[in-house]
Amino acid sequence: MSNTPAPDEESDERVSLIGVEAEETSTSTSTSSSGDRLGTTAKLRFAMAIALNAVPTDLVLTQAPFIFQAYYRADALLVGLIGTLAGFYNMANGLPIANAADRGWLNARLPWLFPLETWGRRAPWILLGMPFNSLAGVMVLFPPMAAGSQWLPVWYGLLLVIYFTGHTATTQQF
């Protein structure tokens, strides 16, 4: 026999779900027991968007240096140096973006678009970061200059800054 109540009874007991404590209630309101205001459909859309974020991430972080050197004939030393400098930028950009998200900066500036009660403080940043990541992925594939141009490393640096800004906005809440 189990000590758990019947499914039709209200329960505030803690249930272990894959090692995580969660409250289980049998209320049928639009908000979950943890107070979330986003429904299941909205959560699934966010999950899909974050999963699709992996495509430009893979393209920019793992393939772009190779593509720029092998196919666009960019100087390998400059591509490596710019990638290193962009890594330092990535290290520094998290603090201002996280600070702005924690303070609800987008919610305060655009309350008609991102009401705090509906979106929370972090979700607008996820939405804002996704286009940056996608733009950086497109920039890898379509540089505006000819192969072998001396400006290719600059283009590579620009796309890394755009990517790291979007990626930090998208993932800083984790």
Q: Is the per-residue pLDDT at 65 higher than 80? A: yes
Is residue 126 within 8 A of residue 114, CB to CB? The reply is no
Q: Which two tokens stand for residue 158?
A: 């620009």
Does this model's pTM top 0.95? My answer is: no
pLDDT in tens, 36-55: 566 788 778 777 777 777 77
pLDDT in tens, 110-133: 999 988 888 888 889 888 888 898
> What are the residue ranges spanned by the domains of the chain?
40-171
**pLDDT score recorded for residue 9:** 46
